[in-house]
């Protein structure tokens, strides 16, 4: 597995992503500038956090039109693994690869803290090895997930909600929701399950010295090639709706 870490002007978690993948998971990973129009030779894509294009217009709006996003869209359609974290999640939503939008936090304050997550879907490639409760940091000002009622209902019905904000014992409550996300949603999956968008930062939770190693339970999914389609199988799924 060779992972492309996409860099946009304003990315600031790209080094965390590269370090986590390469040094903590042991995956060959390289930076790819957003102006590139090919991801040839790569098997997966990681869209890191930050403030792409200074968050002008809307968070991720300009980045979603970058040349490299055509390739990210192709990866998604082929069933290849794509992970968007924080700003990367915003970019995936703006690009229409994932549904919904990330709005300003309910209290209009930037939040930087460790939060508890409940793995709702533990059958997708991204989550099947995850513990039920994870502790992972967040750092965002526009992380409030929102979508129309029909979309939210569909996400739950199709088991595409990957993570919910919760308490340390997995309990639900507004007091555990750092941004006011609808129904406490912290991460969602595409229809095929190969694209994961999440606001918390698994790449910042890869060693005990960082306060948690729970992020490895997400990133390590990339190291298991058996979870993802071979190029032959990927070609056969090209064009499927995500």
Catalogue the active-site residues: 86, 201, 203
Q: Write down the residue that tokens 């968007």 correspond to.
A: 84
For every residue of 133-177, DSSP letters joined together read EEEEEEEESS-EEE--HHHHHHHHHTT-EEEEEE-TTS---GGG-
Q: What burial letters (b/e) apply to 220-239, b meaning 16+ CB within 10 Å?
A: bbbeeeebbbeeeebeeeee
DSSP label of 178:
S
Contact between 72 and 6 under an 8 Å Cβ cutoff? The reply is yes
Burial of 213 (0-12, 13-18, 19+ CB in 10 A): middle
| 110 contacts: CB under 8 Å, gap ≥ 6 | 139, 140, 141
């Amino acid at each position: 597995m060779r992972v492309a870490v996409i860099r946009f002007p304003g990315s600031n978690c790209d080094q965390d992503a590269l370090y986590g993948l390469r040094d903590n998971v042991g995956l060959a990973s390289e930076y790819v500038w957003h102006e590139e129009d090919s991801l040839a030779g790569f098997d997966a894509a990681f869209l890191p956090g930050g403030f792409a294009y200074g968050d002008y217009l809307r968070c991720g709006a300009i980045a979603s039109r970058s040349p490299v996003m055509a390739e990210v869209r192709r990866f998604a359609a082929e069933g290849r693994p794509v992970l968007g974290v924080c700003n990367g999640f915003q970019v995936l939503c703006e690009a229409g690869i994932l549904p919904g939008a990330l709005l300003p936090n309910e209290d209009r304050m930037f939040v930087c803290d460790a939060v508890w997550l409940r793995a709702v879907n533990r059958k997708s490639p991204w989550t099947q090895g995850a513990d039920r409760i994870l502790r992972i940091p967040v750092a965002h000002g526009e992380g409030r997930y929102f979508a129309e009622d029909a979309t939210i209902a569909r996400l739950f019905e199709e088991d595409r909600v990957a993570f919910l904000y919760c308490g340390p014992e997995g309990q639900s409550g507004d007091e555990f929701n750092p941004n006011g996300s609808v129904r406490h949603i912290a991460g969602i999956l595409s229809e095929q399950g190969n694209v994961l968008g999440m606001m918390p930062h698994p790449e910042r939770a890869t060693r005990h010295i960082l306060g948690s190693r729970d992020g490895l339970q997400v990133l390590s999914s990339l190291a298991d090639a058996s979870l993802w389609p071979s190029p032959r199988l990927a070609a056969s799924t090209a064009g499927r709706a995500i």
